[in-house]
Structure 1
Amino acid sequence: MTPSPRLGPGVAAGVTESMIHDLVHSFYAEVRMDPLLGPIFDRAIGRAWDEHLNKLCDFWSSVLLLSGRFKGTPMAVHVGIPDIGAPHFQRWLDIYERVALEVCPPHAAALFVGKSRMIARSLQLGIAVQRREPPGSDFPNA
């Protein structure tokens, strides 16, 4: 008997690769125009936006569909950006939630938003530890 493949949490919510693509591309189009986040992303990504968007599609596919496509170290990347903090994570989450609700059906949007909050909290905690800062109460809504 062959074991059945593990299904990611996104399958039950109706998440598809196409939906992930639409969300990632719509979200980062807004991030790039945002006066708080845009300059930070532009400095970090430069001209490699196509590569970044592909990597983020792979990331969300791996998180929600268990595709295993993502290969990367998000914590190390974010720790290496000295000028990000709680206000940036909160703005990122605010935009992400709005775009997810615009692009995805409600159940899928809720899944994307819930995962994004957990990821933001984890990244912010990891950054605080690396910077030897006490983790404050200014975490984004998690």
Structure 2
Amino acid sequence: MSLSAGSSGRPAVPTEAQIEDLVATFYARIRKDPELGPIFARVIGEDWTPHLKTMCNFWSSVMLTSGRYKGRPIPAHIKIGDIAPQHFAHWLALFSATAHELFEAPLADAFIERARRIAESFKLAFAFHAKDPSLWVPNMPPLVQS
């Protein structure tokens, strides 16, 4: 599935200001979310400014190929330790709702498509590092432990 096209037939491309709006609105909701909020709060702490800046750089790199993000998100998330498969589904649902509330369908869909790909990449990475990959990848038989 490709990025959603606007009325011109070209992929919808956000501005930096739209990326900042999405990041700020989405993470404000994350902070209040009873399922995800405590995980983020434990890792990020009280000052979310550095994380929000990192997320703006990340989404700028993802959506605009700006190259502003230089991090390694998968190792950072794997070391958190208490992330489960349902957290990704919940994260994606909140992200999707936020994108649709802020933007017209073509741009919202472009963000959501990228977010889905990112979530799938994370889930595969978590499965690779998990004791039981079948928790992360449906229909995968559990590993036999000797």
Structure 2-normalised TM-score?
0.83
SS at match of 1:47: coil
2:58 and 2:44 mapped to 1: Cα distance?
16
Identify unmatched segments of 5+ residues in structure 2: 140-146
Number of the residue aligned with 1:60: 59
Structure 1-normalised TM-score?
0.85
1:126 aligns with 2:125: yes
Q: CA deviation at 1:87?
A: 1.0
What per-residue deviation string (whole Å, max 9, x for no partner) do you get for residues 4-51 of structure 1?
Answer: xxxxx9984141000000001000000110000000000111134100
Number of the residue aligned with 1:111: 110
Q: CA deviation at 1:132?
A: 3.7
Task: Kindly indicate whether the alpha-carbon contact (under 8 Å) linking 1:23 and 1:104 is maintained by their aligned counterparts in 2.
Answer: no
What per-residue deviation string (whole Å, max 9, x for no partner) do you get for residues 42-87 of structure 1?
Answer: 0111134100000000000001101100010100011111111111
**CA-based RMSD:** 1.8
Q: CA deviation at 1:106?
A: 1.1
Task: Kindly indicate whether the alpha-carbon contact (under 8 Å) linking 2:123 and 2:137 is maintained by their aligned counterparts in 1.
Answer: no
1:102 and 1:122 mapped to 2: Cα distance?
25
Task: Kindly indicate whether the alpha-carbon contact (under 8 Å) linking 1:85 and 1:124 is maintained by their aligned counterparts in 2.
Answer: no
Identify unmatched segments of 5+ residues in structure 1: 1-8
1:136 and 1:12 mapped to 2: Cα distance?
30
Structure of higher CA gyration radius: 2
